[in-house]
Amino acid sequence: MAVPGRRNGMEDDQGDEGLFDEAAEGWAVELGEDIPPHLRALAEAAEMGDVDALRVALDNLSGNIDEPLEDGDTALHLACLYGHLPCVQLLIERGASIDTKDEEGAIPLHDACAGGYIEIVQLLLNAANSQEQIKGMLDTVDTEGDTPLHHAARGEHLNVVELLLGAGASPLKTNSYGKMPAELSDPGTEVKRVLDAVVSSGSLASQ
């Protein structure tokens, strides 16, 4: 994970939204010292959302586009984490894998859902080659057992939750703490209402 704080934990004193807003407002991202020199330009462009610099970095890249940069994150992970849609588009066009996991077992879809970046979530789903690949992405769990839907629910991102449910995400899956996505959203919120309704719906009988 490229930024401080717990993305997958049960509690988080600082909400994800505030964390990502800092980056979006131009907060200087400090690159880790363990990033190989030949990948630093790629990492910086992906984190800062500089699509022109990213294009140059990719043109001059001597390694693999899916090579881990920091904490197991690929360039696509970073662009999704910080909500840089143009960078995500470019990386996918250049062949970046949408299935690669970071050190915490998360794929780029986890990062996009945690930040509530619905356009990026839709782009990642559209980039899948088949319905089977989409299902695999939706069912992927990180080291704490969270699916992308868990991340979206925790962040109270209603539009992302609805998109994931429409794509086939299961609201019944429990994480390592035995929690379904609905149990990670705050009581009385629209996200919890939607998830509770889907869980109790008879349409889930076939799942």
Domains, the chain:
16-200 (1.25.40.20)
In the predicted structure, residue 8 carries a pLDDT above the cut 70: no
What is the pTM for the complete model shown?
0.85
Whether residue 181 contacts residue 149, with contact meaning beta carbons closer than 8 Å, is answered with yes
CA distance 43 to 23: 14
**pLDDT of 25:** 46
Distance, first Cα to last Cα, the chain: 32
Tokens at 159, concatenated: 């539009």
* Least confident window among 28-32, 135-139, 155-159: 28-32
Cβ neighbours around 28 below 10 Å, total:
8
Q: Per-residue pLDDT averaged across 89-107, rounded?
A: 97
